[in-house]
Amino acid sequence: MSQDAIAQILAYYRDLGIKDIYRRTPTVLPSASQPAAKPALPPPPPQPTPQSLPTPQSLSAPQSLQSRGREGAVLLPPELPTMAPANDTLEKIIADIGDCRRCRLCEARNKIVFGSGNPNTKIVFVGEGPGEDEDIQGLPFVGRAGQLLTAMIDNTAKKEGIPITRADVYICNVVKCRPPKNRTPEPDEMEICGQFLFRQLLAIKPKAICALGSTAAKALLGTKDGVMKLRGKWHKWRDIPVMVTYHPSYLLRPYNQNAKRESWEDLKKVLHFVYN
């Protein structure tokens, strides 16, 4: 089987939420003294009431993302505050990221892709990590998947009579540097960079978050469940309602037409919740 064919099958499995496909030499091993963390149960669905601010204690990463090195070594905590500084802003977070060298993703990246959009938005879309176009431009979702995401946001809002476009929302990723060959981010990369994602979300304080694909869902909800199981329902990150839907790259593949209809339903649901 060609490498392309294998990559397509793996991408398909990944989008279905099947991520534990074992290689002969596993790259991530639980240490003998500490068993791998169990996935957290999804929290109960939120009520659409005004949100309260998360407490500082709630800022540690989900247990399922506890840091492990490629050979099973437990990594030292990265040099990051585990709590969001008081009065955090996107500018402070950018300054703290700096010319980040905290994980191996810095090695091949061209630009750090922090996020873009309206910092006063009521909704944040969270993807997985930059692809090739994003790495070149330093902006999230500007390639093919990004064009589809833009069309989805703009067209759904227009059809539903909600006066917003992509420029009114905020878009960012779990990891801010492009994983080589667009591979899925490793758990330790997600944990290190996830702290910046969490700070971004706390600084913006959106009314809802839309998680695009299984990596975003895993980072925010600490679950191993796949998108098919999670999508269309409300979950929570801290006190903020989270809607999970398919990643736009998945929708670009020809084999699943149903997913396009479902993602439209998901988007309608989250937009109406936020703007009505």
Q: Which residues bind ligand URA (CB under 6 A)?
A: 127-131, 134, 140-141, 143, 145-146, 173, 249
C-alpha span between 51 and 6 (Å, rounded): 44
Determine the residue with CB nearest ligand URA: 127
Query: What is the smallest separation between the CB atom of 197 and ligand URA, expressed in angstroms?
Result: 12
CB nearer to ligand URA: pick between 129 and 222: 129
Q: Is 275 helix (H, G, I), strand (E, B) or coil?
A: helix
Q: How far is the CB of 276 from ligand URA (least distance, A)?
A: 28
> What is the DSSP secondary structure assignment for residue 260, as one 8-state letter?
H
Integer angstrom CA distances of residue 68 from 33, 105, 233: 13, 15, 30
What are the CA-CA distances from residue 22 to residues 19, 208, 210, 224 (Å)? 9, 35, 30, 15
| Rounded least distance, CB 69 to ligand URA, Å | 24
Q: What angle do CA 20, 25, 30 make, to 5 degrees?
A: 60
Measured from the Cβ of residue 147, the count of other Cβ atoms closer than 10 Å reads 14
Which lies closer to ligand URA via its Cβ, residue 51 or residue 256? 256
Closest CB to ligand URA among 131 and 222? 131
Which is nearer to ligand URA, 69 or 119 (by Cβ)? 119
Reading phi first (left if > 0) and then psi (alpha if -120 to 50, else beta), residue 112 is in beta
CA-based R_g, the chain, Å: 18
Report, in Å, the least distance between residue 249 CB and ligand URA.
Answer: 6
**C-beta of 62 vs 185, nearer to ligand URA:** 185
